[in-house]
Chain A
Amino acid sequence: MFPLQVIINGIIIGSIYSLVTVGFCIMYQQLRFINLFHGALYLISSYLIYAFFSFMGLHFLLSNIFTIIIVLFLSLIVTNFFFIPFSNFNQSASILLIFSFVLLILSQNIIILFFYADPKVINYDFLNTPISINSIKFIYRHLFIFFLSIVIIFMLFLLLYKTKTGIKMRAVSDNSILSEIKGINSKKMIMISSGISSFLASVSGSFNTLECNIEPNMGFVMVFKAITATILGGGNIHGAILGAFIIGILENISVWYFPSGFKNLITFTLLILIMFFKSKDIFETKFKREKTG
């Protein structure tokens, strides 16, 4: 039987996964397609923070701010010019999936062109002092990441459920035609969701740069974990967070028993098994938009 340390490790890594998953889930609810470009935003933000911090020597917080602004611009441009017009077509989900897949490969290869394919680390001693409670060991940085993730998700829930913008966003994700009849500008709400989603990707990219090494393939792997967590949780945000923590814990348990090369195998296997056994309701929207062509 595995020790409690494994579960605590899973919860800590699950908090990073939950940020990416919530970002993915917001876009999934608005446009109902598997957005593989979210992994590209995560990848680009990690490498931009690495470039600003290690190449140019800026302070970590400043490089974070620059990265958030750049990734925000990128996400808004792609959503406005490509994702929203394509979502009006009949087979929009497949077109958008292939489009975001090709965008992910494009950004991955641009990063390989500039940064080469070997894994990179930044040396930033941020809260590196260890702490142990009852023989469970972690460092203060892990606590910082966990609590900051919880705070960000809490603020996101406040935004979604207590502010007018959040209510409008949820209305558009539920049924965009009726919301437009009521006067909500659905394109603006989708852009705001895209901005929030890119902000979450940047923050979790910066956490990942602090914690682990970065390599060009991690965009793919991370967006797959987000997809699995969302589908495991049933397609809404509460389930997505729970799914992310479950995936983090399951991953660490599998590393306890199997060799560490198989770490990502549990996510992919879980995806196929869930897709096979889950009911079809979450895959079909209740009210489809009137589509052209």
Chain B
Amino acid sequence: MDYFIHLSIHFVLYIFLVSGFCILYNYTGLINLSYVSIFAIGAYTFALTSLHFNFNFIAATFIVICIAIILGFFLSFFTNRFSGDYFALVTLGFAMIVDVLLKNCNTITNGPIGISNIVKPNLIFFKISNMYGFLSLFIVYTFVILIFLKILKRIYGTSILLALKEDEQLLNALGKNTFNIKSIVIIISSIIAALAGQLYATYISFIDPYSFTLNMLLMIILISSLVSEIAKVYQIIIAVFAVMLIPEIIKIFRLPQEHIGPLQQIIYAITMLCIIILKAKKKVLQ
């Protein structure tokens, strides 16, 4: 039963995380490959502020959101001039920079050892200490994000964000400030990633640079390629469920521990390749 609750907490966390990535991809067509590194920075910010300055959960939330806004603005400022694959390239470079910094700045981030004994959340009226409490907290966060997605679709569904995805140069020529629009969407996506990082840090209560790898990025890209329209909630839920089912199926075969991780990533990668090939064939046939 405990393992089932642990799985459902991961399930809800991935719904939260993927909705942030999908906001950026479905509304602006940009692929932000540094999404997992913003997740990592959110987790590390919460861990460090609660360790050194004794911030509680709510105060740390404000700090995490501020740092996410600064990072999102930094990212959108540096990549304003291009879109498409050069955006992906620059964000991948940014992700590698964060990776190297997290592994090597031993004075600030404890290097490869990681930070342990992160405090559990202490909201003013509740103290969350067992798994059911964590599950309810995660569900509340995800619920808020899904309502936010519906509101976003209601306000911006058929207007400026769709135009941004179609042809950005035309929108610029017509007089809209695409830098502002892109910045806002990137910042919203970064805030979601950083908040997810804070939740992850307080649940697992131990973080190190090796838990935020490109493998998690591959899983997020796989899930978001199965989601075609972000405002339809059932698509996200089914996609996350299908992708999280795969490692559980592998575990039935009782392979040695060091083979499970790479095998899981190989299956994700082959699935992702098949999805790309099928989508390309569908485009050709149209």
Residues of A within 8 A of B (CB): 33-34, 82, 85-86, 89, 91, 93-99, 101-103, 105-106, 109-110, 112-113, 116, 220-221, 224, 227, 259, 261-262, 264-265, 268-269, 271-272, 275-276, 280, 283, 292-293
Known: A106-B266, A261-B103, A265-B100. A93 touches B218 (CB 8 A): no
Contacts of A275 in B (CB 8 A): 78-79, 82, 86, 89-90
Quote the shortest CB–CB distance from B52 to chain A (angstroms).
23
CB pair B97 A102 closer than 8 Å: no
B88 contacts A by Cβ under 8 Å:
yes
Quote the shortest CB–CB distance from B162 to chain A (angstroms).
16
CB pair A99 B273 closer than 8 Å: yes
CB pair B93 A264 closer than 8 Å: no
CB pair B283 A268 closer than 8 Å: no
B161 contacts A by Cβ under 8 Å:
no
Distance A259 CA – B107 CA, assembled complex (angstroms): 13
Q: Which of A34, A109, A261, A264 contacts B85 (CB 8 A)?
A: A34
Distance A259 CA – B269 CA, assembled complex (angstroms): 35
| Category for how many chain B residues contact A | 35 or more
Distance A269 CA – B95 CA, assembled complex (angstroms): 11
Q: Which of B84, B93, B265 contacts A271 (CB 8 A)?
A: B93
CB pair B84 A89 closer than 8 Å: no
Distance A261 CA – B105 CA, assembled complex (angstroms): 9
CB pair B93 A85 closer than 8 Å: no
CB pair B265 A109 closer than 8 Å: yes
CB pair B284 A283 closer than 8 Å: no
Closest to A92 in B: B85
B262 contacts A by Cβ under 8 Å:
yes
Contacts of A96 in B (CB 8 A): 85
> Chain A binding site: helix, strand, loop or mixed by DSSP?
helix
Known: A86-B280, A275-B90. A112 touches B96 (CB 8 A): no
Known: A86-B280, A103-B273, A105-B214. A268 touches B85 (CB 8 A): no
B276 contacts A by Cβ under 8 Å:
yes
Quote the shortest CB–CB distance from B75 to chain A (angstroms).
10
CB pair A102 B82 closer than 8 Å: no
Quote the shortest CB–CB distance from B261 to chain A (angstroms).
8
B259 contacts A by Cβ under 8 Å:
yes
B270 contacts A by Cβ under 8 Å:
yes
Instruction: List the 4 shortest-distance A-B pairs measured between CB atoms, nearest first.
Output: A261-B104, A106-B269, A93-B85, A113-B262
9 contacts between A and B (CB under 8 A): A94-B85, A95-B280, A96-B85, A105-B265, A106-B265, A262-B104, A268-B96, A269-B97, A275-B89
Closest to A112 in B: B262
Within 8 A of A (CB), among B251-286: 258-259, 261-263, 265-266, 269-270, 272-273, 276-277, 280, 283-284, 286
Quote the shortest CB–CB distance from B74 to chain A (angstroms).
10
B231 contacts A by Cβ under 8 Å:
no
Known: A106-B269, A262-B100. A85 touches B280 (CB 8 A): yes
Contacts of A89 in B (CB 8 A): 280, 283
CB pair B262 A272 closer than 8 Å: no
Distance A227 CA – B33 CA, assembled complex (angstroms): 16
CB pair B84 A91 closer than 8 Å: yes
Known: A265-B101, A269-B97. A280 touches B85 (CB 8 A): no
Q: A91-B84, A94-B31, A268-B97 are in contact. List 5 more A-B contacts (CB 8 A).
A: A82-B277, A89-B283, A113-B263, A264-B100, A283-B82
Residue with the greatest number of chain A CB neighbours at <10 A, chosen from B78, B84, B259, B261: B84
For B70-112 the 0/1 string (1 means CB < 8 A from A) is: 0000000011011011101110111011001101100000000
Contacts of A262 in B (CB 8 A): 100, 104
Quote the shortest CB–CB distance from B19 to chain A (angstroms).
20
CB pair B78 A109 closer than 8 Å: no
CB pair B262 A97 closer than 8 Å: no
B221 contacts A by Cβ under 8 Å:
yes
Closest to B258 in A: A116
